[in-house]
């Protein structure tokens, strides 16, 4: 009888153990299914402490499982009801908000900077004859004026790019505009030729940062409109060149002289600097700089003007280039980019040589024999004609651009 009683107790204990194990496993499986149905993209990691027999109470085992499940539920990962990540990048937001009033206003604002840039370049072809009369400079010295400006642009352009990558597109563009404006005003008051050269060289340093306006504009454009709108901005260059020639015609014809021309030509940069109070910072830069809160504020301005709302979810840094680190200058010479780099260098060199060669040579080709006594008017007339013809040519290039280019 004693052996039979012992055997009965063992069998009952075995049944209780099987039942407890079944209940515990069932609870775990149910909890795991619950996590999977609510958050399919989460990687579940459940620790089975106490299930190896080290804990004598079943309640402790269930508590450990629940604690670990709760940790998984508290992870900061948003999901939609369909299991799709409820996050978006700056590019996603720009595409979602579309093209509207914001991009149109930004086009004219950044176009104002591009227009002022053209005016500072075009004035070089008008200054040389006037300075010849003012200081009796030689042809070599006349050429040196242009050389100083372009040297400043060449030396500063890369530095402005690094500055904008570190401190932001808006700050870089505003700094370049203020520097160009200040040096333009000081150039108008230069007492001698040598100081004038230094000031024009510093003006070139400021001009080297103005193209950041196009970069800022492009970063707020949806993909479908990016190519057309960037080319459209180029039309402001032709407008600026035409306006400079017309301004020079009236100022020089009225006898105000080249100093007033320099001063008035700097005013568009002053207007642009004031307009920068409205200019938003690049959302792409803000995300890369670790300021998603400010990036959202910048994107909300687009949404407000375009009559849209931001996509639901959380803004993330989704650009591979920014996640893996910024590029380096040497990347331009990598096997995949070297060919494109050299072809673009050749293209821009030839383009600049032909364009500026013709523009700067215009006043020399059409100058009269008495350029110090009214002959400059004819030179300015030809500058106006050359500048005006640029606008329809630029606009005709727009249909040639395809979406696949970007």
User: Measured between alpha carbons, how far is 405 from 397 in angstroms, rounded to an integer?
Assistant: 14
> What tens digit of pLDDT does each residue of 321-345 get?
444 556 678 888 999 999 999 999 9
Whose structure tokens read 């993909």?
Answer: 223
Please provide residue 103's backbone torsions phi and psi, each rounded to the nearest 5 degrees.
Answer: -65, -35
Residue-level pLDDT at 74: 43
Residue-level pLDDT at 344: 94
Mean pLDDT in the chain?
A: 75
| Contact between 210 and 180 (Cβ < 8 Å) | yes
Q: What percent of the chain has pLDDT over 70?
A: 66
Confidence of residue 133 (pLDDT cuts 50, 70, 90): confident
Contacts by 59-65, CB closer than 8 A, 24 or more apart = 61/24, 62/24, 62/27, 65/27, 65/28, 65/31
Residue-level pLDDT at 361: 76
Residue-level pLDDT at 363: 66
Confidence of residue 63 (pLDDT cuts 50, 70, 90): very low
Q: Which helix (H) or strand (E) holds 315?
A: strand 314-315
User: Measured between alpha carbons, how far is 340 from 343 in angstroms, rounded to an integer?
Assistant: 5
Q: What residues have CB less than 8 Å from 60, skipping those under 6 apart?
A: 50
85 beta partners = 79
- Does residue 26 surpass a pLDDT of 90? no
> What tens digit of pLDDT does each residue of 348-399 get?
999 989 888 887 777 666 554 445 554 444 444 554 455 445 444 444 444 4
Quote the tokens at residue 318: 């989704």
Quote the tokens at residue 383: 């500058």
388, with CB counted inside 10 A (0-12, 13-18, 19+), is middle
How far are the Cα atoms of 126, 143, 203, 262, 376 from residue 132, in angstroms, in the given order?
A: 11, 11, 20, 16, 12
- Does residue 17 surpass a pLDDT of 80? no
Q: What residues have CB less than 8 Å from 232, skipping those under 6 apart?
A: 107, 395, 398
- Does residue 44 surpass a pLDDT of 70? no
How far are the Cα atoms of 123, 126, 188, 200, 208 from residue 194, in angstroms, in the given order?
A: 18, 18, 13, 10, 22
Residue-level pLDDT at 57: 44
| Contact between 210 and 116 (Cβ < 8 Å) | yes
Residue-level pLDDT at 45: 37
pTM: 0.69
Please provide residue 10's backbone torsions phi and psi, each rounded to the nearest 5 degrees.
Answer: -65, -45
| Contact between 265 and 244 (Cβ < 8 Å) | yes
Q: Is it true that domain 90-325+340-405 has CATH number 1.20.1250.20?
A: yes
> What tens digit of pLDDT does each residue of 239-268 get?
999 999 899 989 988 889 899 999 999 999
Residue bearing the bigger pLDDT, 324 or 141: 141
- Does residue 306 surpass a pLDDT of 80? yes
**Closest by Cα among 89, 21, 120, 42 to 318:** 89
Residue-level pLDDT at 73: 43
Residue-level pLDDT at 116: 92
Structural domain boundaries of the chain? 2-79, 90-325+340-405
């Amino acid at each position: 009888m004693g052996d039979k009683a012992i055997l009965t107790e063992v069998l009952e204990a075995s049944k209780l153990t099987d039942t407890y194990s079944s209940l515990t496993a069932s609870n775990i499986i149910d909890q795991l299914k619950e996590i999977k149905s609510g958050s399919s993209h989460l990687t579940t990691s459940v620790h089975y402490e106490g299930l190896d027999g080290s804990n004598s109470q079943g309640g402790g085992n269930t508590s450990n499982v629940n604690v670990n499940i709760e940790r998984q539920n508290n992870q900061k990962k948003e999901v939609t009801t369909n299991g799709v990540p409820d996050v978006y990048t700056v590019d996603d937001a720009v595409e979602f908000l579309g093209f509207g009033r914001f991009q149109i206003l930004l086009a004219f604002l950044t176009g104002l900077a591009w227009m002022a840039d053209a005016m500072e370049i075009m004035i070089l072809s008008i200054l040389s004859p006037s300075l010849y009369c003012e200081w009796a400079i030689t042809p070599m010295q006349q050429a040196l004026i242009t050389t100083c400006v372009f040297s400043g642009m060449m030396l500063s352009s890369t530095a402005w790019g690094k500055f904008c990558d570190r401190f932001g597109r808006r700050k870089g563009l505003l700094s370049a505009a203020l520097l160009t404006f200040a040096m333009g005003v000081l150039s108008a008051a230069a007492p001698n030729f040598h100081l004038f050269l230094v000031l024009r060289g510093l003006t070139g340093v400021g001009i080297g940062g103005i193209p950041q306006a196009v970069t800022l504009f492009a970063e707020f454009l949806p993909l479908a409109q990016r190519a057309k709108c960037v080319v459209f901005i180029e039309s402001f260059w032709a407008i600026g060149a035409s306006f400079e020639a017309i301004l020079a015609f009236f100022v020089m014809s009225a006898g105000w002289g080249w100093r007033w021309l320099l001063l008035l030509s700097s005013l568009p940069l002053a207007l642009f600097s004031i307009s920068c109070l409205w200019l938003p910072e690049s959302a792409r830069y803000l995300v890369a700089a670790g300021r998603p809160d400010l990036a959202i504020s910048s994107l909300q301005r687009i949404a407000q003007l375009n009559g849209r709302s931001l996509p639901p979810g959380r803004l993330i840094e989704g650009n591979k280039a920014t996640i893996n680190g910024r590029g380096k200058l040497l990347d331009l010479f990598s096997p995949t980019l070297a060919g494109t780099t050299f072809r673009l260098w050749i293209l821009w060199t030839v383009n600049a040589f032909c364009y500026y060669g013709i523009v700067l040579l215009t006043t020399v080709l059409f100058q009269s024999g008495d350029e110090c006594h009214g002959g400059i008017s004819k030179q300015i007339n030809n500058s106006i004609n050359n500048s005006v013809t640029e606008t329809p040519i630029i606009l005709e290039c727009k249909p040639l651009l395809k979406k696949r280019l970007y």
